[in-house]
Amino acid sequence: MNQYWGVDADPTAQGRLKGARPVAVLDIGSNSVRLVVYERHARSLTPLYNEKTACALGRGLAQTGKIAYENIDRALTAIQRFALVSRLMRVGTTHILATSAVREASNAKAFVDAVEEIMGGKVTVLSGAEEAHFAALGAISGMPGFAGVVGDLGGGSLELSSIKGGTDSTGETHELGVIRLQDDSETSPEKAQSIAKRRLKKSALLNGQGGSFCAIGGTWRSLAKVHQVLRDYPLHMVQHYEVEAADMLELCEQIVSAVASGKAYQGAELASSSRRDLVPYGAAVMIEVLKAGKFDTVVFSALGVREGYLYGLLDDEERSVDPLMQMAEQMSVLRSRSPEHANDLIEFTAGFLKVAGVTESAEELRLRKVACYLADIGWRGHPDYRGEQAVDMVAYGSATGVDHPGRAFLAEVLAVRYMGLKHKSISQDLLALSGPEMSARARLLGAAFRVAYPMSAAMPGVLPRVGFALDKGVLKLRLPPDLAFLDGEHLRGRLDQLAGLLGIKLTDVVAG
């Protein structure tokens, strides 16, 4: 490898976007210190590096007013390593954010000075209102259409804000972080629930309005993971995981009750060691939030203050970009044989749907275009496994701007595209998340891809010259005379499958 690059050369791999300069956020929270390096500062953020260290800076803060010095030492040691990572990855800008523990501690200045010396940059200590604002922007960045109340539960505080029409209202901060509650309640989740109920009474945002509540924060993410496993949910991904509020309330009450009885709560082994003991306090806060707001649904966001802060730095034009579409276009550039072919595929499938009389909503059109950009991302894999690999990249990737049914739709399209209509190796429970109607549409689109690729070989220029017609109950594929040789048993077999999904029994391939 040294013949290609050395220590002083650019270490960037060819599989990364050309000209992209990494950006990083060092997040100094009350429970953990985390560094996330993103490939570039854009609407769709792709993490290059993500590491946290549990430092518990907020432990004992409410009682002493200070951050414990052993926890400061632990944090500074981790930050020294993070500074090295930033240099090695040639990060352009590192944004250093500090939240509840740092803004409240009387000995925070010395700690902040040490961090700034290590990192060579200024620490931004967020106020409670700023933390709520950036948490709301984080939710918006990952779920552009979300409307409701956002709650970001940290180690030292809970921030609440309301989102409507893509913007957030003035935020609130409450002394309800899980570490603070664990201390204040003397390690009693039941007492913590009573404290949460009392402290939330001053909230103007939790007024029994119903609707959707968006949960952000590591402890609530752990709670979501427990819920997914206990409910046999087929997609273990927190981002955009949506559940009925009543079901989440039931689980949270079971967790608090179990710990109050001196028992381990069900699913405790699913949480990380640093979060396991904090989950009951997150459950206690969730109970009182859901009761006060009388919410109908809970949706979890893996994006929060870090992503919201970067989103807030974008100009209006970049904010308006669809993050899912941007991700798909990037994937096409990085992984397909010809990115230009995706545009041909978009027009080819549009022509087919028009002839077939299949209409599209704005969201269905959006997902079809995304599927076209992703249609060739698996070509490097072994033929026997490229279908599963392509599905994994879509279903389990870091894309935002798409809910779980949307992921299932895209996964079904690629499963059919690579493995045919009779594929069985992909989890049917996962694919079922899209629902019967969208699943049928995904199969139709995947079957159209299977007609397109034998003709085009994933290269641009061919598909714009072919088209469909429906004549007296016969689905016809029209080829120009100079491409008549494309007609054959293989192509006709795939055309028959496509027509069969529409209930059409007769097909033909015609030249001219």
Say what the pLDDT of residue 260 is.
93
In which residue are the tokens 């209409």 written? 359
Q: Percent of the chain having pLDDT more than 70?
A: 97
In CATH terms, are 23-125 and 129-308 the same topology? Answer: yes
Closest C-alpha among 356, 191, 307 to residue 260:
191
Q: Is 92 in a helix, a strand, or coil?
A: coil
CATH topology for the 23-125 domain: Nucleotidyltransferase; domain 5 (3.30.420)
Buried-state track 249-263, b at ≥16 Cβ within 10 A, e below 16: bebbeebbebbeeee
Say what the pLDDT of residue 5 is.
39
Q: How far apart are CA 512 and CA 484, in angstroms?
A: 8
Checking if the pLDDT of 3 tops 50, the result is no
Angle at 393 between CA 403 and CA 386, to 5 degrees: 135
Query: Which amino acid appears at position 203 of this protein?
Result: S
Q: How far apart are CA 56 and CA 424, in angstroms?
A: 46
Report, as an integer, the average pLDDT of 11-29: 86
pTM: 0.92
pLDDT in tens, 139-188: 999 999 999 999 999 999 999 999 998 887 778 999 999 999 999 999 99
Alpha-carbon torsion (249, 252, 258, 261), positive or negative? negative
Q: What is the CATH number of domain 323-464?
A: 1.10.3210.10
Checking if the pLDDT of 7 tops 80, the result is no
Q: How far apart, in Å, are the Cα atoms of 349 and each of 328, 344, 446, 462, 499?
A: 17, 9, 10, 13, 14
Number of Cβ atoms within 10 Å of the Cβ of 210 = 13
Q: How far apart are CA 411 and CA 434, in angstroms?
A: 10
pLDDT in tens, 433-450: 999 999 999 999 999 999
When the pLDDT of each residue in the chain is averaged and rounded to a whole number, the result is 94
Q: Is 320 in a helix, a strand, or coil?
A: coil
Report, as an integer, the average pLDDT of 294-321: 97
Checking if the pLDDT of 351 tops 90, the result is yes
Instruction: Decide: 254 and 159 in contact? Cβ < 8 Å.
Output: no
pLDDT range class, residue 4, cuts 50, 70, 90: very low
Closest C-alpha among 131, 435, 162 to residue 308:
131
Between 391 and 1, the more confident residue is 391
Q: How far apart are CA 310 and CA 296, in angstroms?
A: 30
pLDDT range class, residue 470, cuts 50, 70, 90: very high
Q: How far apart are CA 423 and CA 388, in angstroms?
A: 10
186 Cβ contact list (under 8 Å, min separation 6): none
Q: How far apart are CA 439 and CA 252, in angstroms?
A: 33
Q: How far apart, in Å, are the Cα atoms of 309 and each of 24, 139, 394?
A: 11, 11, 26
Q: How far apart are CA 224 and CA 1, in angstroms?
A: 43
Where exactly are the structural domains of the chain? 23-125, 129-308, 323-464
pLDDT range class, residue 2, cuts 50, 70, 90: very low
CATH topology for the 129-308 domain: Nucleotidyltransferase; domain 5 (3.30.420)
At 37, give phi and psi (nearest 5°): -105, 125
Instruction: Decide: 393 and 426 in contact? Cβ < 8 Å.
Output: no
Q: How far apart are CA 244 and CA 296, in angstroms?
A: 6
Alpha-carbon torsion (162, 167, 168, 169), positive or negative? negative
User: How are the residues of the chain apportioned to helix, strand and coil, as percentages rounded to the nearest 5?
Assistant: 50, 15, 35
Report, as an integer, the average pLDDT of 25-40: 96
Closest C-alpha among 444, 445, 457, 423 to residue 500:
444
Residues present in the chain in total? 512
8-state DSSP, 410: H
At 420, give phi and psi (nearest 5°): 90, 175
Number of Cβ atoms within 10 Å of the Cβ of 356 = 18
Checking if the pLDDT of 8 tops 60, the result is no
Say what the pLDDT of residue 12 is.
63
pLDDT in tens, 112-146: 999 999 999 999 999 999 999 999 999 999 999 99
Say what the pLDDT of residue 84 is.
96
Q: How far apart, in Å, are the Cα atoms of 236 and each of 187, 233, 432, 451?
A: 29, 7, 15, 33
Checking if the pLDDT of 11 tops 90, the result is no
pLDDT range class, residue 13, cuts 50, 70, 90: low
Query: Beta strands 172-174 and 297-300: pairing type?
Result: unpaired
Q: How far apart are CA 102 and CA 435, in angstroms?
A: 46
Report, as an integer, the average pLDDT of 71-96: 96
Query: Which amino acid appears at position 425 of this protein?
Result: S
Instruction: Decide: 31 and 56 in contact? Cβ < 8 Å.
Output: yes
Number of H helices, E strands in the chain: 20, 15
